[in-house]
Every structure is written in C-alpha cells, then in structure tokens.
Chain A
Amino acid sequence: MSFLGVVFDGIAYGSLLFLISVGLSITLGLMNVVNLAHGAFAMFGGYCSVWLTTTWGLPFLWTLPCVCLAGAGVGALAERLLYQRLYRASHLDQVLLTIGLTFMAVAAATFFWGPTQQRVELPDFLRGQVSVLGLDLGAYRSFLIGVVVLISLGLRGLIERTRFGAQLRAAVDNQQVSAGLGIPVQRVFCLAFALGSALAALGGALGIELLGLEPSFALEYLVYFLLVVSVGGAGSVRGTAFAALALGLCDVAGKYYVPQIGAFIIYALMIVLLMLFPAGLQGRRA
C-alpha cells in the first residue's frame, strides 16, 4: 500500500524537478552555457504568481499561464541582453555572471517581499486527497503530475514534429553546420531560452505548495536542478525526464525506507551516476 504511495510521491516530486530543469538542459545543451541563474527564473515565476494572487486577486490557476508568459518575456530579454555575450566565454565567466544574477535576484526578492516565505490560495478541489483505485493520493500532486505530463507531451510534439523543433535539434547537434544550412541559430537560441525560462517560471509557481517560496529558493534548489541536468545529460529532454524521475523516486524512497541516510542519498547517487555516465544518461556533450 504505502509502496505505491511512495512511488506516487516520488513521481510528483520528480515531475516538478523535470519541469523546472528541462529549460536548463536545453540551454546547456544548446548554447553550452552553465546557467546558475536558472533557479532565479523559477523563483521569479513563483513570486509573479504570488503577486498576481495577492495584489490583483487572480485565482491561482489563472496565474499559471500569465507566469509562463512573464517567464518567457524575461528569458528572451535576458538572452538578448546578457546571455548572448556568454556563448564564447569560458565556463568560469558563465558561472560568475549567472551567480551574480542570482545574488541580485535574491536581494531583489528580499527587498520587495521580505525574507519570509510566501503562500498562495489553492482552489478547494486541489486540496486534501482524492481516492483513486483505493489509494489516497494528494489532490495537488495529482494535478501537478497531470500538468507536467501534458507539458511533456506538448514539448515532445514541439521538438519532434514542428519546424522549430527540428531547427532546435539541429542546432544542438552541430551549431556551425546548422548555421551553414541557413537555420537562424540566434533566433532559435532566443526562443529556446524563452521557452526554458517559461517552463522554469511555471515550475516555480507550481512548486510553491510543494517546496515553499523564499528569497533563498534560487540558491537552495539550484543544486537539484543542476543535479538533474548533469545526470540526465545536457540537451536531452528524455534524459532529463529519466534523471528527474529517478532522483525524485530515490530521494522519496530513501527518506521513507532509510531515513537515517537522508540527504546523503541524492549527492552520493549523483556522484556515482556521474562517474558511470560522464556525459549524463543520455547526454550529447561529453
């Protein structure tokens, strides 16, 4: 009984991780930019949602598409103004720029909202538990999994069946040749970054219930996103999904069955996986 409950919780946690991390995976795989500010984009989405519900009184579910748009906008802007200069830069410079941005984001969040945590009002049908096939499953977690599944399907459709998706895949595989074939690589970068940021922002908003929202969110959870991407392999959506689910399940199962080990599991697991698969589970860049 409880085993299925643990699996369900693990999948929920993993889905959230996937939603936020997929943007980072695309960015890293496509542009080879280590974006440590990705957590800040997710946090931005969370705070947007809070702002919309508290100042404008919007119901939580309506804030989600708004947050996506806001995330996309901010992402596109950041890409044009800042990240563009990083494509040829060393990893150190990228780390620095993005850490600097993260610090600024954390300070800005503290300034506008204070250091305490934020909350959102969930609609009633998302609270409590629902009974599915004799199991008591969290309503919100079920909703979360549903949303992520839909988005994953949409993403897959986008990447595998649209022109943009084809251009994206080509640019990830080999930038120079793609440019040589007339693919507008710069535009692809910008759109991909915007997409990734939109998804991260959505994940941040959806994550308020699960992970909480404080200014330190950007740095605290960054490790998990980086973990997922490096284990799953940069540039691969499927790899990210596997890694996110694996890590989510292992983390939850570990905490349930062997709580004494606690936080070790996730880091030890990461190191082991990275030693075995240096390019990640399905990575394309070594």
Chain B
Amino acid sequence: MRGVPKSVRDLSFWLLPVAGFFAFPDYLVLGSQMLIAGLFALSLDLCLGYAGIVSLGHASFFGVGAYTAGLLALHGWHEPLTGLCVASLAAALAGLATSFLVVDRQGLTRLMVTLGVGFLLHELANRASSITGGTDGLSSLELDPVLGLFRFELSGKVAYLYAGGVAFLAFVFVRRVVRSPFGLSLQGVRENAARMPALGVPVRRRLIAAYTLAAALAGVAGALNAQTTGFVGLETLGFERSASVLIMLVLGGAGRLQGAFLGSALFLVAQHLLSEQSPAFWQFWLGGLVVALSFFARGGLLGALDALLGSLRRRGLAPAGGAGAGP
C-alpha cells in the first residue's frame, strides 16, 4: 500500500466498528464491551508493547477508574463526561504512586509486584465495603444523558457510540504519543534499556510517565464500563481481568495499536460463541489457544497476518505495504 498515508491506513481500521453499528444492531451491548475491552488492552499495550513492562495487575487501574466513576454517580454527580475525566485522573494518580515500585525492578520481581499491588487493592476494596459495597458492589448507577442529549437505553446504541467515540479519541491520542519522540524513546527502552542513557534519555522518568499514562487510559476504560453497565464490582480489580486483558492484547498483537481492539473483539466473540456451545470447555480452548499463540503466532493475529502478507508479497500476489499500523 505504498502511497497511502499511514494515518489513513491506521484509522481505516475504525470503519469496522462503524460498520458493526449498522450491521449488528442487536449486538450493540456486546459491541460496546468489545470497545471498552479494546481501550483497556490499548492502555496495556502502551505499558507492555511499547514500554516493555509486563504487568499482571493492570486491572488495578481499571478498577480505580470504575469505582471513581461509580462513586461519583452514586453520590449525585451524574454527568458522564466529567465523571470520565475525574476517574482518569484518579487512575493516573494511582499509577503514579505505584510506578515507583514497578520501574526499578525487572523480570519476576516486577511481575510479582504488579500482582501484589493488584491483590492488595482488591482486598482493600473488599474491606472498605461501606464505600465500595464490597462483593455486592455499587449498583443501579444512574447517569445523565451524554452531552445532555443522548440517554443510555436498552438497545445499547448510545452506550456503543459513547464508548466508541471515547475509544477512537484515545486511539488517536495514543497513536500520536507512540509516534512522538517520547514514544520512540519508550521503544528504545524496551529494546535495550542500558543503552538509552547514552542517548540522553532519562529511562526511569520515561517509564514512570508511560506507566502513569497507561494507568490513566485504563481508568477511562474502567469508568466507561461503570457508566455503560451501571454497575461496579470487585471483579473490576481482580486477577481474572488482568489476565484476560493480557491475553486479549497478545491475541491481537502487542506493539501494534489495532491489535488491542482486534484481540478484544476476537476474545469476546469467541467467549460468546463458545459459552453457548460448551460452557465448561471455554477455559480449555482458551488455554489451548494461548499456548498455540505463544508457539506459532508470537505477534498475535496482526503478526500472523503480517507474516502471511509478507509471504504473499514475496510471491507477488499482494501489494506492497504492511497490514497493521506497525510502529
């Protein structure tokens, strides 16, 4: 696809959700969940795919965002957009606070720290049940219409467009960040952290910034989840959510922004389909898929497609240019 500007290529991906809105009007609730999960995976991509921090506790920030938005709605602040901003801020603060624990460590230690923080937050939320509702969670959250015009209703149209709009803006933003010198320096840190100081890059500060930004975005996803489902529970902070977002991201392809959304879409559709056919074996096939991925498709779906296109190109069967928005 030589001659096509990269921005068009990258953003043309968003034709899919738009097409989905018209093609599948009965599945819009599932669709908005895909978008929210995609945004969450995108935030993890920033942290993992670009900065190279493997985190098994990313749901901490999703949960902080969700609870913030939920508590605001519960205590009288029903405006969704400002709620989103406040939630994002809260998650960013949480990210900043914990980033110091995470950026100085490597390998297993770092993984354990992220895991530990996740469990601690989960336990804290359970304890503070007078605020968070404990295992019962915060329910029946009421929200004003978006921009004063669009009420959330049963068919899920408004929720879908709301989530989609926010996700799109986030995507554009992250794309800017990733292609900026900041973003490129992150990739440098991921590839070889030892060399970066020689280029004048303050490694630690970059990692903290990246982690905080990722946390902020995860908080946005969490707030969206709270606002569109009208419910916040402990599982927004749980290990299951951290593990599944990791799988979604890797499924689609880390380090390529669309991979986050593709992976989430695939994961949720597969879950939807498999849980109808054979609910007990969803976990087995998921496990098998993940194992197969780690062997054959290390770059996820997009990586595999790239490889396919590459081999087709070598045989002259496809136009030049990549499939996804690689960095």
Contacts and interface: CB of A to CB of B under 8 A. Distances in A.
Given A100-B289, A101-B287, A103-B290, A95 B111 contact: yes
B119 A226 contact: no
B111 A271 contact: no
Interface in B229-260: 239, 243, 246-247, 250, 254
B115 A223 contact: yes
A89 B250 CA distance: 14
Contacts of A89: 294
Given A92-B54, A274-B105, A279-B109, A97 B120 contact: no
Nearest to B117: A271
A263 interface: yes
Nearest to B281: A107
Contact of A271 (B101, B108, B283, B298): B101
Chain B contact residues (Cβ within 8 angstroms of A): what range? 35 or more
A271 B281 CA distance: 35
B155 interface: no
A227 interface: yes
B247 A96 contact: yes
A28 interface: yes
A34 B54 CA distance: 12
Contact of A93 (B107, B108, B284, B298): B298
Interface string A194-215: 0000000000000000000000
A256 interface: no
Contacts of B283: 103-104, 106-107, 110
A100 B287 contact: yes
Interface residues of A, number: 45
Interface in A19-46: 28, 32, 34
Nearest to B250: A96
A102 B280 CA distance: 15
B56 interface: yes
A284 interface: no
Given A100-B291, A101-B291, A278 B104 contact: yes
Given A107-B280, A230-B108, A271 B287 contact: no
Contacts of B48: 92
A267 interface: yes
B288 A100 contact: yes
A262 B48 CA distance: 32
A161 B115 CA distance: 37
Given A97-B290, A107-B287, A271-B117, A263 B123 contact: yes
Contact of A274 (B113, B286, B287): B113
Nearest to B292: A100
Given A85-B295, A100-B289, A271-B120, A110 B280 contact: yes
Contacts of A264: 120, 123-124
B96 interface: no
Contact of A226 (B108, B286, B294): B108
Contact of A229 (B108, B120, B288): B108
A93 B284 CA distance: 19
Contacts of A267: 116, 119-120, 123
**Which of B101, B250, B254, B287 has its CB near the most chain A CB atoms (within 10 A)?**
B287
Contacts of B294: 89, 93, 96-97, 100
A91 B54 contact: yes
A92 B55 CA distance: 9
Instruction: Identify the interface centre among B124, B283, B288: most chain A CB within 10 Å of its CB.
Output: B283
Give 7 nearest A-B pairs by CB, closest first: A103-B287, A100-B290, A107-B284, A104-B287, A100-B291, A97-B294, A107-B283
23 contacts: A28-B108, A32-B107, A82-B291, A92-B254, A93-B298, A95-B111, A96-B246, A99-B287, A102-B287, A103-B286, A104-B283, A105-B287, A110-B283, A219-B239, A223-B115, A226-B111, A226-B112, A264-B123, A264-B124, A274-B105, A274-B112, A278-B105, A278-B106
